């Protein structure tokens, strides 16, 4: 009887078990401090490269990973959504567990699920939630330097919240877009903006309504904004434009003026990236 030669399983022991093409959606959290952003760049490490390398090590496939949003250098994520297609037969929960073994410590897959082939992490998204965190304290906290914008002067968070309501609705937000135009259209619909103080700073929480403090007692100010899409540096430009409101120099009429000007120079400065978080992405 001839000798039977069996194939050797390699590349995570899953390559030899192929099946039809699958579409995998990942929910990813990461500390963006050591990355030049999500998207592949020639000038430094990116989160996308880290994820694609982990998938390559696990499945042996060179997957192209799509994302819900291209976060900038130094920006963090609690609920970034990415998708990729694979022929691997790895059980779905195996993707989460195994990918985390191959990812660096500052990137983690929180969840993995199989979705229809027509799901697209970018184009299937219907709205996103971002959070910007300001530490309003006279003493700088060195342990938070990569995760908040430290601002030592007094801030009127209630005035910020009131003025920010001018942004709610469907508007042309080109005044809050760096290097316009970056998209085919700068019209976006902002569904919600809240500015509130927190007594504590649970940066890892992905829900917006978390024990706001009374009045102006808390040290941490959270700006939460939900929209059907965001422009380049839009949230950071909004935060920078609300800071003169917080200091009593502008009010809601100025935010309305900036919107109608449709000119980036009419708005405030761009807030630092380290206080910004992509919190959640909603799909149909």
Positions marked catalytic: 72
3-state secondary structure at position 3: coil
- Calculate the alpha carbon distances from 183 to 117, 229, 258 in Å: 26, 11, 20
Residues in the chain: 284
- Calculate the alpha carbon distances from 184 to 91, 172, 174, 225 in Å: 39, 12, 11, 22
Strands 66-67 and 76-88, sheet pairing: antiparallel
User: Distance between CA 253 and CA 281 in Å, rounded?
Assistant: 31
Bridge-partner residues for 282, per DSSP?
A: 127
| Residues sharing a CB contact under 8 Å with residue 255, sequence separation 6 or more, in sequence order | 163, 164, 166, 167, 241, 242, 245
DSSP of 30-58: E-GGGSSBSS--TTS--HHHHHHHHHHHH
Element (H, E) at 230: none
């Amino acid at each position: 009887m001839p000798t039977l030669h069996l194939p050797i399983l390699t590349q995570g022991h899953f390559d030899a078990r192929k099946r039809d093409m699958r579409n995998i959606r990942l929910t990813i959290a990461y500390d963006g401090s050591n990355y030049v952003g999500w998207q592949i760049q020639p000038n430094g490490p990116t989160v996308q490269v880290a994820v694609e390398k982990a998938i390559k090590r696990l499945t042996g496939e060179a997957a192209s990973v799509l994302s819900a949003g291209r976060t900038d250098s130094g920006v963090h994520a609690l609920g970034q959504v990415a998708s990729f297609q694979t022929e691997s037969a790895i059980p779905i929960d195996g993707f989460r567990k195994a990918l985390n073994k191959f990812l660096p410590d500052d990137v983690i897959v929180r969840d993995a699920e199989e979705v229809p082939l027509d799901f697209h992490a970018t184009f299937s998204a219907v709205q996103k939630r971002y959070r910007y965190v300001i530490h309003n304290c006279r003493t700088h906290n060195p342990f938070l330097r990569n995760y908040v914008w430290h601002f030592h002067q007094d801030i009127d968070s209630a005035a910020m919240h009131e003025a920010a309501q001018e942004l709610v609705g469907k508007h042309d937000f080109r005044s809050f877009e760096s290097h316009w135009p970056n998209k085919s259209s700068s019209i976006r619909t902002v569904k919600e903006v809240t500015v509130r103080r927190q007594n504590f700073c649970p940066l890892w929480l992905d829900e917006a309504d978390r024990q706001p403090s009374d009045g102006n007692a808390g040290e941490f100010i959270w700006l939460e904004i939900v929209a059907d899409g965001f422009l380049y540096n839009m949230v950071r430009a909004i935060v920078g434009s609300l800071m003169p409101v917080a200091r009593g120099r502008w009010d809601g009429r100025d935010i309305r003026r900036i919107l109608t000007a449709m000119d980036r120079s009419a708005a405030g400065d761009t807030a630092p990236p380290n206080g910004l978080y992509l919190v959640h992405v909603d799909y149909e």
